[in-house]
């Protein structure tokens, strides 16, 4: 990564490649996040992956995702004086977005690099999308409804909430990773 790249501003149209931040939370479907990284690379995005500390603890194959992304996953802050590992983003997605992370994000509780990255994202003026993976029982909590409303008000683009519950035929739906790209690519 060149200093020149790092010095560019978020969303700079003159930059050669578009850079997508992918924030991964600790939901069961996170095991499939490689699908999102692969689809993003195919659509011409460079990717930088952030994971919550819990997500790093066995929720997805980190070595595979690092190989697909071509960069180390970030979960902890860099040391003061160290260079920024990723260029600034042209778009940010959080997929899957857990109940916990959605609520912390809405409250501005930037206690992990993953949530701090999300907290900063809306202020950068780049598209931000969330693919919530939250069961009905948790989504019934008023804090969740308030958080989604607050984040929507900040311009965050939400996909329909994924519950993982089987449909009326007993078929479990697939988590639609590509929606994250569709949402940030919308004008």
Ligand X SMILES: Cc1cc2nc3c(=O)[nH]c(=O)nc-3n(C[C@H](O)[C@H](O)[C@H](O)COP(=O)(O)O)c2cc1C
Residue ranges that bind ligand X, judged by CB under 6 A: 25-28, 52, 54-55, 98-101, 133-134, 138
Q: CB-wise, 43 or 145, nearer to ligand X?
A: 145
Least Cβ distance, residue 37 to ligand X (angstroms) = 18
Long-range contacts of 174-177 (CB under 8 A, 24+ apart): 175/29, 175/32, 175/96, 175/131, 175/133, 176/131, 177/32, 177/33, 177/35, 177/36, 177/39, 177/95, 177/131
Q: CB-wise, 25 or 121, nearer to ligand X?
A: 25
Least Cβ distance, residue 115 to ligand X (angstroms) = 7
Q: CB-wise, 101 or 117, nearer to ligand X?
A: 101
Least Cβ distance, residue 133 to ligand X (angstroms) = 4
Q: CB-wise, 52 or 62, nearer to ligand X?
A: 52
Exposure class string for 79-118: b at 16+ Cβ within 10 A, else e? eeeeeeebbbbbbbbbbbbbbbbbbbbbeeeeebbbbbbb
User: How does DSSP classify residue 169?
Assistant: T
Q: What is the dihedral of CA 2, 43, 177, 118, to 10 degrees?
A: 30
Q: CB-wise, 5 or 100, nearer to ligand X?
A: 100
Q: CB-wise, 83 or 160, nearer to ligand X?
A: 160
Least Cβ distance, residue 30 to ligand X (angstroms) = 8
Least Cβ distance, residue 103 to ligand X (angstroms) = 9
**What is Dmax (Cα atoms) for the chain?**
56
d(CA 180, CA 38): 13
Least Cβ distance, residue 187 to ligand X (angstroms) = 30
């Amino acid at each position: 990564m060149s200093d020149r790249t790092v010095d560019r501003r978020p969303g700079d149209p003159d930059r050669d490649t578009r850079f997508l931040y992918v924030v991964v939370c600790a939901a069961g479907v996170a095991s499939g996040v490689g699908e999102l990284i692969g689809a993003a690379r195919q659509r011409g995005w460079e990717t930088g992956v952030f994971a919550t500390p819990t997500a790093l603890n066995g929720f997805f194959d980190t070595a595979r995702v690092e190989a697909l992304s071509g960069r180390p996953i970030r979960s902890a802050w860099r040391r003061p004086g160290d260079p920024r590992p990723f260029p600034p983003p042209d778009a940010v997605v959080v997929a899957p977005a857990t109940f916990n992370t959605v609520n912390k994000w809405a409250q501005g509780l930037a206690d992990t690099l993953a949530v701090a990255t999300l907290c900063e994202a809306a202020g950068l003026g780049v598209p931000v999308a969330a693919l919530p993976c939250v069961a009905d029982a948790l989504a019934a909590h008023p804090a969740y409804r308030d958080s989604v409303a607050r984040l929507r008000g900040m311009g965050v683009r939400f996909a329909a909430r994924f519950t993982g519950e089987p449909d009326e035929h007993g078929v479990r739906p697939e988590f639609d990773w590509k929606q994250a790209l569709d949402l940030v690519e919308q004008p």
